[in-house]
Amino acid sequence: MEKTTLLKLKMPSSQRLIYLDYNSSAPLGKGVKEAICSALDHVGNPSSVHQSGKKAKAVINKTREILSDYLDVPSQNLIFTSGGTESNALALRGIDADVFFVSAIEHASVLQTAQHHPNSGFQKIPVNSQGIVDLEALTSLLKSADGKKVLVSVMMANNESGVIEPISEIRKIVHAYGALMHVDAAQALGKIPISREDLKVDLMSFSGHKIGAPMGVGALYVREGLSFRGLYEGGGQERRFRSGTENVSGIAGFGKAVENIDFSKWEAIKSHRLFLESTLREKFSDLFIASDRVSRLPNTTLMSRPSLPSSTQVIQLDLEGICVSSGASCSSGVVKSFSVLKAMGVSQEIVSSVIRVSLGPETGREDIERFMTVYSHIQGKS
């Protein structure tokens, strides 16, 4: 209850806070709010045949074109959803697979959908100590499932460690065994390029709010000709794959956010991150950084040194106006600790002190310096 009182007293203005939790959610991008507002100002159900309806439909189709141009896939193969979680659920439930093979570091929405599927089997694909999917293990799983309909799900970039998986290499193996492949690209979109080669997979999920679109919107790419069914019955919107009146304002914002994608900004982000990592490494010889020897998202550092519990560090940082994360911000109630590290075989000592710092286009070098000062202080070194 203390928390609520605190908030009512003062909500610190965003200027005074240093936000380093971009992988959890990104603030709206330039022009996105305007796009949302103009869509909200307009009345009309996209399924109605009259002018008002057609205009709402046009908003949706415009975003579809933008995303289709950006990804270089046919626009009719993109379905709008309520976000990354729904896209993942739709992808896995839409395929009538006998068995799911999902990497051990998938987002809960993939892991649990696979696990709880009423009629399908489920197995995790292990990852190595850097968090990369074990291709040999995948191959033997695929061999063992001979004759069964298999869907493999591997994320493009991990939300916790930022590790980037070799998607096209994995896809080649998966397709060689006649299996289907889904990729959760929620964290990858906008942070790293997604190539045509990557999009040779069968299904790919995207989330809006991770790239500066509002929460409540996402998309799923479904390869042409794939035998697929939707999750909801109803009006048959989105080529029958996703019934329900579309989130028009969210979709409008999503389009703008995709238009805003600009990798030149990410060079600066990457150099900030490298600065952060090298400076802290010099200071703390025992600093652990996850997936530090493989390609990673330019903005993500999952780091730890055996010291205080993660949550204590996060609270101390927060008191200093710095927002970082100590666990996947999914479950309401308890914050679950990062599960990726366990799958990578990292010791419990390291796991219990881990925090994730994820930068964004608005992060400045002075923010990094301030973070390091506070972090060092918390670690007992100033």
Partner 1 sequence: MKITKPIYLDYQATTPCDDRVFEKMIPFFKENFGNAHSRNHVYGWYAEEAVEKSRAQIASVLKADPREIVFTSGATESNNLALKGAAYFYKDQKNHLITTLTEHKCVLDTCRYLEQNGFKITYLPVLSNGLIDLDVLEKAFTPQTGLVSIMAVNNEIGVIQPLSEIGELCREKGVLFHTDAAQAVGKIPLDVNTMNIDLLSLSGHKIYGPKGIGALYVRRKPRVRLETLIHGGGQERGFRSGTLPTPLCVGLGEACFIADQEREEENERLRSLRNRFLEKIQNALSEVYLNGDLEKRIPGNLNLSFAYVEGEGLMMGIKNLALSSGSACTSESLEPSYVLRALGVSEDLAHTSLRIGFGRFTTTQEIDEAAESIIKAVKRLREMSPLWEMAQMGVDVNSVKWAAH
Q: Active-site positions? A: 330
Q: How far is CA 265 from the centre of its chain?
A: 19
The single residue among 24, 63, 187, 301 that binds partner 1, judged by CB under 8 A, is: 24
- 21 touches partner 1 (CB under 8 A): yes
- Closest contact distance (angstroms) between CB of 178 and partner 1 is 27
- Closest contact distance (angstroms) between CB of 339 and partner 1 is 12
The single residue among 38, 58, 116, 286 that binds partner 1, judged by CB under 8 A, is: 116
Site for partner 1 in 158-217 (CB under 8 A): 207, 209, 214-217
| Residue whose pair of structure tokens reads 């869907």 in the numeric block | 151
The single residue among 323, 342, 352, 372 that binds partner 1, judged by CB under 8 A, is: 323
User: Nearer Cβ to partner 1, position 285 or 334?
Assistant: 334
User: Nearer Cβ to partner 1, position 10 or 293?
Assistant: 10
- 255 touches partner 1 (CB under 8 A): no
- 107 touches partner 1 (CB under 8 A): yes
Span of 34-42, 67-75, 129-137, 337-345 interacting with partner 1 by CB under 8 A: 34-42
Contact 151, 181 (CB under 8 A): yes
- 359 touches partner 1 (CB under 8 A): no
The single residue among 72, 262, 286, 318 that binds partner 1, judged by CB under 8 A, is: 318
Q: How far is CA 120 from the centre of its chain?
A: 25
Contact 206, 66 (CB under 8 A): no
185-216 in b/e form (b: 16+ CB < 10 A) is: bbbbbbbbebeeebbebbbbbbbbbbbbbbeb
Site for partner 1 in 330-349 (CB under 8 A): 330-333, 335
Give, in degrees to the nearest 5, the angle at Cα 102 between 163 and 85.
Answer: 80
The single residue among 243, 279, 316, 376 that binds partner 1, judged by CB under 8 A, is: 243
**How many angstroms separate the CA atoms of 19 and 21, rounded?**
6
Closest CA to 248 of 42, 86, 69: 42
Contact 101, 150 (CB under 8 A): yes
**How many angstroms separate the CA atoms of 292 and 163, rounded?**
9
- 304 touches partner 1 (CB under 8 A): no
**How many angstroms separate the CA atoms of 312 and 329, rounded?**
16
Site for partner 1 in 38-67 (CB under 8 A): 40-45, 47-53, 56
Amino acid at 325: S
- 28 touches partner 1 (CB under 8 A): yes
- 124 touches partner 1 (CB under 8 A): no
Closest CA to 206 of 366, 73, 360: 73
Contact 239, 79 (CB under 8 A): yes
Span of 63-71, 164-172, 314-322, 359-367 interacting with partner 1 by CB under 8 A: 314-322
Contact 334, 203 (CB under 8 A): no
- 121 touches partner 1 (CB under 8 A): no
Nearby residues of 141 by Cβ (< 8 Å), 6 or more positions away? 101, 123, 125
Span of 97-105, 172-180, 327-335, 343-351 interacting with partner 1 by CB under 8 A: 327-335
**How many angstroms separate the CA atoms of 142 and 153, rounded?**
13
- Closest contact distance (angstroms) between CB of 202 and partner 1 is 20
Joined together, the tokens standing for residue 44 give 């009309």
Site for partner 1 in 66-105 (CB under 8 A): 81-86, 88-89, 93
- 1 touches partner 1 (CB under 8 A): no
- How many residues at the interface with partner 1, by CB under 8 A? 88
User: Nearer Cβ to partner 1, position 180 or 355?
Assistant: 355
Joined together, the tokens standing for residue 83 give 């976000």
- 37 touches partner 1 (CB under 8 A): yes
Span of 69-77, 164-172, 270-278, 320-328 interacting with partner 1 by CB under 8 A: 320-328
